[in-house]
Amino acid sequence: MTRIHVPLRKGLIKIRMKQHIIICHCPSENKVLQIVDEIKASPEHRDAPVVVVAANLDERPDSFRERNILFVKGEPTNEETLIRANVQEAQGVFILAKDPASTSSDACTFAIGTMIEHIEEETGNPIHTVAEMLSSRSRRMVRRSSIDSIVVSEGITDRVMVQEFLHPGIHNAFAQLLTNTEGSQLYVCPTAQKGRRLIDIQCAALQYKDHLQVIGLSRGGDAMLNPDKQVAVEEGDMLVVLAESKKQFTEFENVCLAESTSA
């Protein structure tokens, strides 16, 4: 093996690309690969480069090389490591639990999120961050880091199992909603239809040429699914949409706005 390939294999490189996606920690190759496959299944991110930052890997796994996933060795809690991964010019960061068996990993997640927040403030470049949190009790702590999105894994499997017992087949429905690889997905989309009743938007969606449904809205970070029929869109609300692509909703929104202007 030539000397030029050793740093690449050992994760000793400095990332110079921009608008890449960073995954912090590698609890397992399979988990990282599943996340990458979901990212790549999205048309918007199909060509986005992916960089894994982890201290527990001695070298870049073959599975990463086969998918063109780059590797930076080091602790993501170390600012120098994040800078080597060029986090300041990344479009997004996934922070995985360092040890899925230990809730103490949430403290590590908090530290990484805080570090990225400081880098974001210094550079002025927005970095969308999604963090895995093991315990719901850590939610308040992690939110102090201003992480954009938090996914709590605690209890999700238990709740889905109970729902599958009570309503057989619901797991398959959830599975399709949560993957980019098949069927329709859920999108949370900004809207300019302030003041319009949600039910009127839903009726317009049913009559639209594409397969698209509006099932609720997000207000102040809280989801309101199947709300009262008189609920109207307020400033800052986002619509929860079931569609085959986000582009479908954008086109639908433009049609609705054009019709309201001409009315």
pLDDT in tens, 181-204: 777 889 999 999 999 999 999 999
Report in angstroms the alpha-carbon separations of 145 from 136, 141, 159, 212, 217: 15, 8, 28, 35, 26
Amino acid at 168: P
Together in a domain, 33 and 129: yes
Rg (C-alpha) for the chain, rounded Å, is: 21
Q: Which domain holds residue 202?
A: 184-262
Residue 207's CATH number: 3.30.70.1450
Q: What is the pTM of this model?
A: 0.82
User: CA-to-CA distance for 239 and 253, rounded, in angstroms?
Assistant: 10
H/E stretch holding 150: strand 149-152
Q: Poorest-confidence range of 18-27, 90-99, 133-142? A: 133-142
Together in a domain, 166 and 120: no
Length of the chain: 263
19-42 mean pLDDT: 94
Query: According to the model, what pLDDT value does residue 143 have?
Result: 67
Residue 87's CATH number: 3.40.50.720
User: CA-to-CA distance for 108 and 74, rounded, in angstroms?
Assistant: 14
Together in a domain, 145 and 230: no
C-alpha 210 chain-centroid distance: 25
Together in a domain, 220 and 172: no
Together in a domain, 11 and 43: yes
Number of independent structural domains in the chain: 3
Together in a domain, 65 and 17: yes
Query: According to the model, what pLDDT value does residue 3 have?
Result: 53
Together in a domain, 166 and 241: no
Q: 16: Cβ–Cβ under 8 A, 6 or more apart, which residues? A: 86
Burial track 83-109 (b if 16+ CB lie within 10 A, e otherwise) = ebbbbbebbbbbbbbbeeeeeebbebb
Together in a domain, 198 and 252: yes
Together in a domain, 98 and 21: yes
User: CA-to-CA distance for 184 and 211, rounded, in angstroms?
Assistant: 9
Together in a domain, 120 and 25: yes
Assess contact for 50 and 71: CB atoms under 8 A. no
Together in a domain, 38 and 141: yes
Together in a domain, 130 and 199: no
